[in-house]
Amino acid sequence: MSPNSLLERLKQRRIWRVLVGYPSVTFVLLQAVEFFVDHYALDPGWLTAGLLTAVVFFPAAVLWNWRHGEVGEQPFTRGEVTIYALSLAAALLAVGLFRGASPPTAAVAERAASSGGGGEWTVAVMPFANPGGDPEAQYLCDGIAEGLINWLATLPELRVVSKTASFRLRDAADDTPRLVEALGVDRVVRGRLERVGDRVVVSAELVDASDESQVWGDRLIHPAGEALFLERDIVDALKSGLRVRVAGEPGTLPGGTDDPRAYESYLRGHHLIQATDTRTIEEGVEELRAAIRVDPRFARAYADIADALAQMLNYGLLGDERLVGEARNAAYTAVALAPDLAESQTALASILTWDLADWREIDGAYEAAIALEPRSPVPYHRYADFLVFTQRFQRAREMARRAMDIDPLDGSAMHAVGIVEFLDGNFAEAARAWGEWNHFHPQSQWSWIKHGLALGLNGECDAGRRQIRTFTERYGTDLSDLMESWVLWAQKACGEPGWRQRAERRIELELARNPGTLTAGLAYLTALTGDGERLLDLMESALEQRDPLVYYLGTFRLKGLRWDIENTLSSDPRYLALLDRIGLPPMDAAAGTDE
């Protein structure tokens, strides 16, 4: 057959229809499959299966067009039908081999886990790398990762590793086997963030921890100052990679903002208030105030302000009544704007304590926070702290242990476990818990002091002295009255010379600075030296002034803590009358009491 004759036959049989129409129809069908993959968690392997089927059937389509492309009726032959049947069998075989050889995708793995008793997926979101070392980019690296953790935590299909645990392994973000060993994860989200001129460039990926294959990856570029939209774009892309459906869209989490400027200030402030020094925390609070000035309805920023100031109050770092009032207003505003935000309820509980609210109301705020965010350790360990200082040890121990179950590496949870055992007289357990706290979080000054004290009260004075000595070598001796009281307490427990003289000098110094004012440090110092009458005078003054510290005064009825007042104060009529006026809840029969 001559070329001209072949060309004429092709024209007669209208082969152009299959050459144009077949790819077009295939494209439309594959787009339909992709729609179901993206929106209804259809296994993405069907895209490849569809493409294989199209390739295998293409010769059959050409044959059909050759045999039946002319005008008029062309009967099917037995050989032609055989070829069609073989094409169908080949397509089914190719798809079957592909599906059998391919590893489970994210959606398949999820369904297999849930239907086969495998439980939830475990996902770790690692802090994003900051390869340029830009300090102005660090809050974005951490803030975006924390935002992703919050989003993923809303998905019932996933168990998300806490921020504390994943951020502690910051230096091992690219070491997938180590993450699997340390965190027991199935998937890892990691990325890197760089500022390039006036833009932010983020490269992120989702990795299957079983074989380190990339399940999803993307590169996003946004103008600097639009971290909010950048985070939302990552969430959208990550949803597609995870093949799970998310209730709601980015931006619908309680207490959020749609203003990128407010969100930028919030991320910076939220990052800074995680610090342990007063100056950095104050800088963070100022950033949060800036966020509120831009968006006065930004509940998360109000909650962070209330929480940061409340924690400074708890550690004796804040005495300005105006700031106490700001903390109170921020907490109530956060609850008014976003009552379903767990952080709002937790901050409210702290402020209610300082307002001397009824203990039932404080319990209610903590219980509400736990109900709203049952997978966060924060409301549990904060509630444990309140419970233990109102001597409800059984419930406090339960809350502290639940916080540890959620995040075994959370420093505040470790502290909560330790303080429960410490005030309940179980010094060996307290030393173990605070020892772990000090080991995993050596940057916490309090971890050195409290571990040293627990060791001393447990009779391990050599180890306790080493802890206190290491602390003073690292941080010096210019301490707050609260820290000073605990250091002297540790020295007293092990019979160190000179502790009493230092304690009495510090008492006189504090009274000269703030006459008639009871601080936590001053309360401990007077208890250590046995000056019960002075302590009772200060307690009565604090109650008259409605000082928030009075909720913690029940601690001084405990026994075994080596205070020189413990054999007299617990039975003193003035002290018992004070406790009645405070209205503390019923006390557990703790090991450290006579009850």
523-573 pLDDT, tens per residue? 999 999 999 899 999 888 888 877 777 777 888 888 889 988 887 888 899
Total Cβ atoms within 10 A of residue 583: 12
Query: For residue 348, is pLDDT > 80?
Result: yes
**pLDDT per residue over 214-249, tens digit each?**
888 888 887 877 777 777 777 777 766 665 555 445
Q: Which residue has the higher pLDDT, 118 or 381?
A: 381
Q: What is the mean pLDDT of the chain?
A: 81
Distance CA 493, CA 200 (A): 55
pLDDT value for 106:
39
Using alpha carbons, list the distances in angstroms from residue 514 to 188, 387, 549.
Answer: 53, 29, 15
pLDDT value for 107:
37
**pLDDT per residue over 178-226, tens digit each?**
998 888 888 899 989 888 777 888 888 888 888 888 888 888 887 877 7
Range with the lowest mean pLDDT among 155-169, 308-322, 355-369, 481-495?
308-322
pLDDT value for 552:
79
Contact status, residue 361 vs residue 345, Cβ threshold 8 Å: no
Query: For residue 520, is pLDDT > 80?
Result: yes
Q: What DSSP assignment string belongs to 104-142? A: P-HHHHHHHHHHTT---EEEEEPPPB-TT--HHHHHHHH
The token pair that represents 52 in the structure block? 């294989």
pLDDT value for 399:
97
Range with the lowest mean pLDDT among 17-26, 142-151, 319-328, 527-536?
17-26
Distance CA 327, CA 304 (A): 9
pLDDT value for 146:
86
pLDDT value for 111:
32
Distance CA 374, CA 378 (A): 9
Which whole number is the average pLDDT over 76-86?
68
User: 199-208 and 213-223 as β-strands: parallel, antiparallel, unpaired?
Assistant: antiparallel
Query: For residue 317, is pLDDT > 60?
Result: no
Burial of 340 (0-12, 13-18, 19+ CB in 10 A): middle
Q: Which residue has the higher pLDDT, 354 or 62?
A: 354
Fold held by 110-253? Rossmann fold (3.40.50)
Using alpha carbons, list the distances in angstroms from residue 456 to 218, 274, 419, 423, 488.
Answer: 54, 30, 15, 14, 12
Kindly indicate the confidence band of residue 517, based on its pLDDT and cuts at 50, 70 and 90. Answer: confident
pLDDT value for 283:
93
Q: Which residue has the higher pLDDT, 76 or 533?
A: 533
Q: Give the whole-number percent of the chain exceeding pLDDT 90.
A: 32
In total, the chain counts a number of residues equal to: 595
Domain boundaries, the chain: 3-102, 110-253
